[in-house]
Structure 1
C-alpha cells in the first residue's frame, strides 16, 4: 500500500485529484493534500510518502524547489509534475531532478491514472536474488568494456598532471566521441563495495565485471537524457563520470548545481542498491571552471570516497563538506569528531534562533553551516539521535504548547509565531505531535 501527497495551491484541484485516486482501485493507503511547498515538506518529513504529485508554480516555493528539498530528505520518493504551462525549461529541470512524468493542465483523468499506475508498478519491482541477477547479466550483457579506447583516453585525461590540448590530442578525443568544451566541470565516482553488500564471496572476476557493467547501465539510464556527461570504467571497481556545462547552461537555472549533483549521487546509490542489491560509495567533486582542472576533480572524488572509512553507514560524500585546510593528511578520530561536532552545534544554534521562521528549509540551515544538506542531515541524526526536521518541529510544538497554556493568543496568531503558513496546517501537525488539537489542549 502506497501513500501519495498531492500539492497544488488550488484547493479544488487538490480535492479533485485526491478523490480520483481514492476511488481508482490502485494500491493506495492514504492520499495527503497540501496547498504550498512548505506544508508539503512537513508531510514529507513526518509521513512515509511514496509518490509526490506537485504543481510547478505555487508562489513562495515552486514545484522544482519542492522536488529539490524532497529528494534531499528521501531520494526514493517518486515525483509526477503537473503544470498549466508547457514550458521547456520547467520540464527540463523536472526531468533532471528525477520526475517520472510531466503532465499539462487541464488534466485528463485517464492520463493521470495511467501515469500513477506506471510509477507504482515500477516501485513494486523487487531486488533480484544475487545468483539470479548474475545469471541474467550473463545472458543479456557482453563482457567487454564498452568503448575501451574512449575509456582509456578519459582515464589518461583525469589522471595526468596537465591536460593535453594539442591538435593531435584533441583530434583523438573527437574521433572517439569526446567533446570536452565545458567550461564548467564536475566529477562523480562510484565504487562498488562487495563487502558491505554481503557479496564478499564474489571473487569471480567475470561476475565483478558484469556487476560493473550493470552499474554503468544504471548511470547512463539516469543521466543520458538531461546531463552532458561521459561515464567510464576507472578501475575494476569504479565508474567515473565527467559532467560538463556550457556557460549559458550553468547560469540559466533556478536550482543550485551542487544540490543537483548531490541528488544525482544519492539517486545513483539508491538505484544501484534497488536494482542490483549492491552497496556502493559515491564521491562528488566541486564544480570548477576550466578543462585543466579535470585531474583536480578526480583527486577530489577520490578524497571524498575515503571518508567512508570514517562513516561506514553513510554512502554519498561531497568533497566540499570537509574542511581540508584544517585536516592533516591522516586525520585522527579526534580531529574528525571535533569537526563533526562543530557542524552539528552550529546547526543547532541556528535552528534554536530561527525555528519560527516561515519557510525555513534544510538547504538554508546547511548553507549557513557551509555543508551539503545530505551530510548535515546524516551528522545531525548521528550526533543527536533525532532527525533534523523532527528537532525543528519539536521546538515549534513546545513553543506553541507554551503559548496555548500561558497566553490568550488565537490559533492563527500562534501558528504565525511558530512558523506555519496556515492555521489549518499548524493544527494538523499539532494533533499528530500531541495527540490532541490546540483547542482541546486549551480546554
Structure 2
C-alpha cells in the first residue's frame, strides 16, 4: 500500500494524472497533488509519501531543487522526473539526486503506469529487507524482558486472553509456558540494603537477583520474572523438561511430584540466602501453592498478597510458604472490579462494547460469588459511579448532564436495593452516557462538514484542494477526508467535483460564457482538461450539452 505525490506547475497536468489514471490497480492507495515545489514539501511533511512524480522546470523551486530536498529528508522516497526538456544535463542532475527514472513529455498513460508499477515492486522488495524493520526487531529483543514482564503482570492482575491470543503472545515473547501447565509463584520483597538505592542501582540489583535465581532453578525449573504493580519481584515457576500428558481423557496435573515441590521450596530458600550473602541485602520470600496456567494465576497471586499482609507485615528477612489449600474468604472479594482493563480507561477510549462486557463480568462475578450483600452492592455502585464521574469531568461536563438527574441522584442510593436494581441502573446510565457522547460527536463532526462545504462553495473558483481545506480547518488532510466521508457519505473530492459540474451546467444554461471562461471560473486553468472532466461526468462535452438545451 503506497502513496504517490504528483508535482507540476501546470494544474491540468497534475489533475489529469491524479484523477484519470487507475492508480489503485498498481497498488497506489493515495494520490496527492502539488502545484509547486514548496507545496510539495508541505505535502511531504504531512503525509507518508512513497513515490514522487515531479516536473523539472517550475517557477520558484525547480524540480532538481525539490529532488535534492527530498533526498536529504526522505531518503526512501522514490522520484520520477517528468519534463519536456530532453537535454542530457537535466537527466544527469536527476540521476545525481537519486531519481529513479527520467521521462519526457508527452508520455502515454500506460507508460507512466508501467514506470510507477516498477517503483512499487522495488519498494516492496526494499520493505522486505528494510533496515528499520531489523532495528525494530533489535529493539524488541533488547526490551524483551520488560515486554515479558508486562504480559505476566497482566495475567497476575486478571487480564483475560482468548486461548489463541495468549498462545500467540507467549510465542512472540519466547516464553515456554502453555495452557494447563502446572506452576507456582514466588514473591520477593527487597528490604534492608535495597530501600535507599536509586533507580539505576536498584535495577542492577534486580537484574542480579534474576540471574542468581536462574542459576539456582535451572536444573529442574523454568522461571518467568516480572516486577509487579507493588514493586515486588515476582517469579512464575514451571517444571523443566517433559510436558504433562495431553490426551483428552487425562486431566492436567495441578501439582508436581512431591520431590519437585520440595526442590522448589529449597531453591527459593537458597535464593533468599544467596541474595543476603552476595548482594548484602535482606529479602523476604513468599511461595505459593501450585495451580494450572493461566486460570489460577490471579488466584495464586492474590493469595501471596494476602499472606504478605497477614503473615509478613513489617518484619524483614522471612520465608513463608502458602499452603495449596486455603480456607475460603468469609467475605468474598470482587476481582472483576479491579482487573484490567479498568472501567474508567474503557470509558476514556470510548469502547462502548468493551464497557458492556466489563459490566457483565462485574455482575456475573457478583452473582457467582453470592456477594450480593449491601456492602458489595454499594462497592460496585460507587466503583461504577466514580468511573462515570471521572469521565464526565474529563469531558468538562457535570455528571447530571451526562446521566440525567434521575440516574445521578445519590440521596437515597435506590440503585443499591438489589443486584438486579444495580444492574438496571448501570445499564441505563451507560446507555444515557453513550447516547449523549454520540450526539456530541455527531454534532461536532456535522459542524466540521458544514464549515468545509461553506468554504468550498465560497472558493469554488479558487484553490479548493484537500490541503487548502485542511489549512483552513487547522486539521490534518487525512482527518479532513475521513471526517467528511463519515458524515456526508461521499468523498470530499466527489463533493467538490459535483459542485463544479453543477455550477458548469448553471453557467452553460444561463449565460453565454465560452468554455474557457467557464473553466477559469471553476478553477480549471486548462480548458481542455475542463472539457475532459465534464464529459466524464455527464457523458457529453460542454458544447454538446449546450446544443441539447431547448431554444
TM-score (norm 1): 0.43
Q: Which has the larger radius of gyration?
A: 2
TM-score (norm 2): 0.36
Higher relative contact order (CA 8 A, sep 6+): 1
